[in-house]
Amino acid sequence: MTPPAPAPATSQPAHGVAPLLSVEDLTTVFRLADGREAPAVDGVSFTIASGETLGLVGESGSGKSVTALSIVRLVRPPGRITGGRVVIDGHNVFDLDEREMRSIRGRRIGFVFQEPMVALDPVYTIGAQIEETLAVHALARGAAARRRVIELLDAVRIPRPDERADAYPHQLSGGLRQRAMIALALSAEPALVIADEPTTALDVTVQAEILDLLRDMRRAFNLSLLLITHDLGVVAGMADRVAVMYAGRIVEQAPTADVLHAPAHPYTRGLLASMPGARPGTRLEAIAGTVPPIGSLPIGCAFAPRCPRRFEACDERPPITAAAPGHDVRCFLYPGAGA
């Protein structure tokens, strides 16, 4: 084991309160076609406090979805979790047996995916699927379960919930399906919901409705939320803190306003500058090049080959330092205190 990074990791929730979820130095590798293993998630650490929303932002291949799957141990071969800890309720989930793990999934951690058809079974009605979850976790059966289903569908503002409970997923519109999946995710009253691109496949007006709903559910159920998205606009409206991922690593982590208004890492700056809409009629500020494929990342800073501010130091792997109090960054431009 390598010694822990000397620089202070400062973006932590309130002092003395144990976070709801703590991810420490998580590493998940994938076996490549040539037999080598390469990290898709490389030493990722963050915490989520009770009631807090963390936005995990990155482009495709950044490792944000693999991070989510690793938290609930749903990584499948050729992927493999090789290191780190994921602590919820004081337990490291990597120490649990599969039966204990199943009670964490759903009961403590709910899932909302981009495509509802991943989570919803096409051959069962919405109501039957929620009733099954209630039964699995011994929360309600029979008439009580039916009443709970209708309450949940009503809570996610599905009109005529008593009729919709008997509908099959394909009979609902995209927006209603997403609401049904949120109801399913909330049915076992989890403390944390992991939402992986929950609005990416939706039209902009439906997206706005679903984000409003997630905000309301967060308050009503006192939820913590890990919101995974590529859209910084979605994060701006939802997250308390933001972690930016690039090539398997978190390169910046800070309160949302700090990331959006005072981005520290050159990648975050580039990402914000490349977003359209700010200055109509002009060229966009693109980031040169592309994300290197997994398995051919540079040894040092993974962003260095595309970085306008790279220098000699970037050939080595940068540690986490503080760009400002509570604002962590992985970049040699910020030597920090103890680095």
Partner 1 sequence: MTALLEVGHLVKDFSAHGSLFRKGPVTRAVDDVTFSIETGETFGLVGESGSGKTTTGRCLLRLIEPTSGEVRFRDENVLAMPPRELRRTRRHLQMVFQDPYSSLDPRMRAGASVAEPLVIHRIGNRQARDARVATLFDLVGLPADAAARYPHEFSGGQRQRIGLARALALEPSLLVLDEPVSALDVSVQAQVVNLLLDLQQRLGLTYLFIAHDLRLVRQICSRVAVMYRGRIVELGPADRLFDAPAHGYTRALLTAIPRLDVTGRLDRVEYDEASFERLPLSEVAAGHWAAV
What does the binding site for partner 1 look like in residue numbers (CB under 8 A)? 59-60, 174, 203-208, 211-212, 215, 230-234, 236-237, 256-257, 260, 270-272, 274-288, 290-291
> Rounded to an integer, what distance in angstroms lies between the CA atom of residue 186 and that of residue 193?
8
Structure tokens at 109: 């951690």
Helix ranges (DSSP H) in 105-203: 116-119, 126-136, 142-155, 161-164, 174-186
CB of 29 to partner 1, least distance (A): 22
Report the residue number, 115 or 132, with the smaller CB distance to partner 1: 115
Report the residue number, 267 or 332, with the smaller CB distance to partner 1: 267
CB of 284 to partner 1, least distance (A): 4
Report the residue number, 7 or 235, with the smaller CB distance to partner 1: 235
Show Cβ contacts of residue 257 under 8 Å, excluding neighbours closer than 6 positions.
none
CB of 232 to partner 1, least distance (A): 6
> Rounded to an integer, what distance in angstroms lies between the CA atom of residue 229 and that of residue 42?
19
Report the residue number, 122 or 276, with the smaller CB distance to partner 1: 276
Count of helices and strands (H, E) across the chain: 11, 12
Report the residue number, 218 or 330, with the smaller CB distance to partner 1: 218
CB of 59 to partner 1, least distance (A): 4
Report phi then psi at 247, rounded to 5.
50, 45
CB of 266 to partner 1, least distance (A): 12
Report the residue number, 78 or 237, with the smaller CB distance to partner 1: 237
Structure tokens at 136: 């699995």
DSSP H or E stretch at residue 64: helix 64-71
Residue among 330, 328, 310 at smallest CA distance from 319: 330
Residue among 332, 330, 321, 334 at smallest CA distance from 251: 330
CB of 47 to partner 1, least distance (A): 21
